[in-house]
Amino acid sequence: MEAGASRISRLRLRAASPTLFYQLSLLALAALFLIVVSGATVRLTGSGLGCENWPRCGSTFLPQKDYHALIEFGNRGVGFAVGLVTLAAAIGATRVERLPRWLVAAAWVLPVTVLLQGILGGITVLVELHPLIVMGHFLLSLLALAVAVAVVIGAYDFLHAAATHPPLAANWLVLVLVPSTLALVITGTLVTAAGPHSGGEEIRRFGLLPDALHLHVGAAALFGILYVGVVASLYVARPRPRTEFFLAGGVLAALVAQMAIGDIQWRTHLPWGLVLVHVALATAVWAGVVALAARLILRSRPYLP
């Protein structure tokens, strides 16, 4: 009996609290956002081939004292740190008692995607920054970010035992809004691939810039229509989705800022610093829309096992 009690006591000591898991999930989300911005910096500064091979950087493991090599190698270092942070969040998920299975699985998806990112990053260098592989690299980052957002919201709801409410009309609209947001981001990557920031000085462009811009504008128009529909349905359903309504307002603020930056960067011939801000805002919009969708869906049904 004493041995059994001692064993249970040790297991409890090893268990992680819901608060710790929530904090780790927030840290993982921030880290994954950072790696998106870090990767965009590599491309926009033309440093994609700063290290000509992978995982080494030239003839040595550490980079030479070269601007492009340091930026590219720095991004690899950030990726390694992000991997450790997401792994800590995943391990923390397994140590929280009675945590829903879907949340544990989602937490473990994060370090797996970071590992896949490292492999895809190596392939990107080996194929000399083929535009489609580069876009795939970016989209995998967005997938990881979306999963991290869902994990954060799930961890918060578990920590606070969040109450549920009946499904809203916005639930169905937001399910369409998420893929339309992804289309908006993908067409934005096509604009970048066709523009002057393809990742390296001698990397070929992909497509024509006017065609890519037309696609991007069309995707923005579709997104705008769906977004207005979601906000209107949230307004009609007030006051139940109060937090969701304010979250939609935050997405709108990021959108307005993004459109302003987009117009300025076009008029100033696409300086890479402004393009980086545009990418960061686009990533924030993506995360905000996913957060809105996760809040609506998770809060409109009994907590998943």
- Per-residue pLDDT tens digits for 151-196: 999 999 888 876 666 666 667 788 889 999 998 888 877 776 665 5
Given a contact cutoff of 8 angstroms between Cβ atoms, the answer to whether 173 and 232 are in contact is: no
- Per-residue pLDDT tens digits for 155-166: 998 888 766 666
Q: Which residues of 262-298 are buried (b: 16+ CB within 10 A; e: fewer)?
A: beebeeeebebebbbbbbbbbbbbbbbbbbbbbbbbb
Percentage of the chain modeled with pLDDT above 70: 77
Average pLDDT over residues 275-284: 88
In this prediction, residue 143 carries a pLDDT of 93
CA–CA dist 54, 60 (Å, integer): 10
User: Which residues are CB-contacts of 14 (< 8 A; sequence separation ≥ 6)?
Assistant: 95
What are residue 96's phi and psi, to 5 degrees?
-90, 125
- Per-residue pLDDT tens digits for 64-92: 667 777 888 888 888 889 999 999 999 99
Tokens of 11: 């297991």
Each domain of the chain, given as residue ranges in start order, spans 16-162, 165-305
- Listed range (99-103, 126-130, 255-259) with the worst mean pLDDT: 126-130
Claim: this prediction has a pTM higher than 0.85: no
Instruction: Tell me, rounded to whole angstroms, the distance of Cα 184 from its chain centroid.
Output: 14
CA angle in degrees (0–180, nearest 5) for 73-33-162: 150
Tokens of 116: 């896949």
CA angle in degrees (0–180, nearest 5) for 110-112-114: 75
